[in-house]
Structure 1
Amino acid sequence: MRKFIQNLLAASIVLGSASTVFAQYGTGTRSGGSSSGGYYTGSSSYGSSVAYGTPNEIITNFTSGSLLSGKQCKDCDSSTNITIQGMYLRTITAEWQGGAQAGIQSISGGGGQTLLTLVGLGVYNFDTNFKESFFAMGGLGIYPVIKDDGSGDYESKFGFTIGGGKRFPLWGSVNYIPTVAIVKKGDLDIGFDIEFLNFSIMF
């Protein structure tokens, strides 16, 4: 419990510091309910990302692709590791986004295995101007978890994530988006995930 509180405090400091910096040096808000980037705030549905032709969002920290081939040690068998993963959100209403975090990792050679991540996500934005909004998110799905038999192999386990964050517009469709979340995978203890160097791209 003490460690959980320490992690929560660290997450609060990260988000609080980011909010302070961008409040001092960010774009600010124009009179009449619109920000300097031309994005509206308030409850009007026209202020959402739909009205600006950017209903799609990719979260960069959870989006990648790689292929690694070779030996992990001198006496190990050669193996190939292919990883593809991504996090995608789409605007549903003026405040809500829905999407998924999906990933597949294929390891061949030296005891090949396939690791699958598939989590459905829902995001509630507290401002219809998504580019400057605090948000809360939750997700349910399956995660790869190491088996308890000591083999080092993985199995798929049901899990969930609950968290939130804040977007800060940088330039164009790119936003800085620090997030904090708790993650529960199968029968493992709750983990704490702080993404303090995270970005998103809207299109």
Structure 2
Amino acid sequence: MPDQQTHTRPNGLALWLVVAGVIGWWAAFALTIEKLEKLANPDAIASCDLSVLVQCTANLDSWQGSVFGFPNPILGIAGWIAPIVVGMALLARARFTRWFWWCFWAGIAFAFGFVIWLISQSIYDLHTLCPWCMVTWSVTIPTFYAVTLHLLRSGQVPASERVRHAADRLMAWVPLAAILSYAVILLLAQLEMNAVVNIWQTLFG
């Protein structure tokens, strides 16, 4: 049997949710500040505009940057509070019902799908990589993997014992899965716009 600690007291997942939530919230906050400064002074150069390729302005000023009628970072400021609260509650040994986990997963899944769409838009349409956006991507992707596997291993999703065991073992591979996901993103960016070389030159001259 998998360790019951990972099911009823998922401390590792809880800690990650808090860390990811804080990082994601800070990235969203930083992007919101950049957007507000740009609205106040349209000629201002954003602090995250490092080059033609690595910048925030193109993303923030595009229609993709306000796809719901308001700047996307506002979604992050509101949304990243949820993982922080859930993570802190789990560390305090709170237990949630199945419907709560499903609602939480739905929010994470939406964020994951939205991030995948934004990645495709950045690479293939805007041809830029936004630094703060990439920070958001970096925590959203493993969070989706981890929460999905937790729902499977804990029985929140009806599944066989074999599937639950497999999900429990796969939790240890979430970091590697995330790194491979980042590598795929960088590869796609490199193939489309020589991103890796340009990022290296931008950061290290």
Give the number of the structure whose alpha-carbon radius of gyration is greater. Answer: 1
Q: Which has the higher contact order (CA 8 A, sep 6+)?
A: 2
Structure with a larger share of its residues in helix: 2
Structure ranking higher in strand proportion: 1
Q: TM-score, normalised by structure 1?
A: 0.24
Q: Scaled by the length of structure 2, what TM-score is found? A: 0.24
